[in-house]
Amino acid sequence: MRAGIVFAAILTVTTIAVTVILALPGGDRAKDFTVYDEHSYMKHFSDYSGKPVIINIWATWCPPCRNELPHFEKLYKECGSRVQFMMIDKESKQKLNDVKKFIKDGKYTFPVFYDWDNSAYEAYGTGAIPVTIAVNADGEIVYNQAGMLDESSLRKIIDSIK
């Protein structure tokens, strides 16, 4: 019994420590990376130069990712004309049809890209997903953190880069 309590306490402290470590500071210059669209055409982050961008790296097998995607969809519909969205799936190319079905079934309209060579994740990954990065029009990272976002938090992040 006592060992179980000690284990639970260690697990709690470790979880809090990992969450703090994963909260990366903003202010750095955005790094370029390459992702692919559903037709395997390359898209470079630098194509969005001069525009505010929200990047979200996620996967269909990730429950927190699935839980936050409706918030991204809602805010994409509201803010997509002023802020670019790059919703980047981290799964392998072999999963493309599964991901496309997931997007269709969820009725998501935000732009989905695929990180088949881990370029985006290596540039911005924190060791966990989902991870959200906000880049202002000057190319500065104003937010970079792993973890699920609720609608209110995501709205504040978007408002900070408009």
Least confident of 16-20, 39-43, 113-117: 16-20
Question: What's the pLDDT band for 10 if we cut at 50, 70, 90?
Answer: very low
Domains of the chain: 25-159 (3.40.30.10)
pLDDT at 139 over 80: yes
Q: Which amino acid is at 140?
A: E
**What percentage of the chain has pLDDT greater than the value 70?**
83
Residue with tokens 């079934």: 105
pLDDT at 17 over 70: no
Question: What's the pLDDT band for 26 if we cut at 50, 70, 90?
Answer: low
pLDDT at 8 over 60: no
Of the chain, the end-to-end C-alpha distance in Å amounts to 53
Q: What pLDDT does residue 1 have?
A: 56
User: What gap in Å lies between CA 156 and CA 47, rounded to an integer?
Assistant: 25
Of 55, 36, 47, nearest to 141 by C-alpha is 55
Q: What pLDDT does residue 136 have?
A: 96
Q: What pLDDT does residue 76 have?
A: 98
List, for residues 67-115, the tens digit of each pLDDT value: 999 999 999 999 999 999 999 999 888 889 999 999 999 999 999 999 9
Instruction: Identify any residues that bridge with 71 across adjacent strands, giving them in sequence order.
Output: none
The answer to whether the CB of 73 falls within 8 A of the CB of 109 is yes
pLDDT at 31 over 60: yes
59 — phi, psi (to 5°)? -150, 150
Average pLDDT of every residue of the chain: 86
Q: What pLDDT does residue 12 have?
A: 38
The token pair that represents 35 in the structure block: 């992702």
What mean pLDDT is predicted for residues 54-62?
A: 97
